[in-house]
Amino acid sequence: MTRKRVLTIENLTFGYTRHALLYSNFSLSLYEGEIVTILGPSGSGKSTLFELIAGNIKPMEGYIKKERFSQVFQDPYTSFHPTYTIKNQIEDVADVSNMDQLCKEMGVEPSLFEKRPHELSGGQLQRASIIRALLMKPKLLLADEPTSALDNLIQLDVMKLLLRTLGQVGILMITHDRDLAKWCSDRIIEIG
């Protein structure tokens, strides 16, 4: 069975100046059912790569092709509007018919989503962010430090849930956590 390619990056070159390139002729293919981790220290360009994939910034050279994607951001407080309930914000971008089941799998009470972001803990909000991303039914999931706001036990549960979604998606994750990367990744690409 041929796996579907959900992300293709060919000969990507990018830097904020031509004299300080973060990427030079960088290429990557990611397939459905695969998790690839970009590992590197702060400031090495991990989040910049996601900005390039999302189309928020343009490469100097190279080519990026991606399937439908959604993102899990490192800081969940900046990924939700502060004055609307979590549920309203998820309903704006996704079909919520499967939300109660995902909430159960993530260990989140659906009633929490009737609250505003500041009324949830960082861990609850990060799980809400992951649920929102999954409800968008992506083929490619960009996960920027998806467990950084969670304690160790919840980190494990969240990663197990993400890994269970691999039948439908490919996951590109960025982290500085080498142990997490080794535990869950099909491939690790070190930068910086």
pLDDT band, very low/low/confident/very high, at 158 (cuts 50, 70, 90):
confident
Q: What is the CATH number of the domain that holds 89?
A: 3.40.50.300
Provide the domain limits for residue 46.
5-190
Q: Give per-residue pLDDT as tens, 35-48.
A: 999 998 888 899 99
Which candidate, 94, 165, 158, 101, places its Cα nearest to that of 124?
Answer: 158
User: Which residues neighbour 178 within 8 Å (Cβ) at sequence distance 6 or greater?
Assistant: 39
DSSP string, 155-176: HHHHHHHHHHGGGT-EEEEEES
**Which is nearest to 152 in space by CA: 186, 120, 177, 115?**
177
Q: What is the pLDDT of residue 145?
A: 87
CA 31 to chain centre: 15
Q: Do residues 9 and 63 touch, judged by C-beta distance below 8 A?
A: yes
- pLDDT tens for 83-116 read 999 999 999 999 999 899 888 877 789 999 999 9
Residue 124 vs residue 11, higher pLDDT = 11
Q: Provide the number of structural domains found in the chain.
A: 1
Share of the chain above pLDDT 90, in %: 57
Predicted local distance difference test score (pLDDT) of residue 149 = 66
Pairing of strands 170-175, 140-144: parallel
Token representation of residue 148: 């950084």
Q: Looking at the chain, how many residues does it have?
A: 192
Residue 1, pLDDT > 80, answer no
pLDDT at 30: 97
CA dist list (Å): 145 to 2, 97, 178: 29, 27, 12
Span 162-186, mean pLDDT? 89
Lookup result for tokens 């399937």: 67
**Span 114-126, mean pLDDT?**
89
State in Å, rounded, how far the first CA of the chain is from the last one: 35
Residue 106 neighbours by CB under 8 Å, 6+ apart:
127, 130, 131, 157, 158, 161
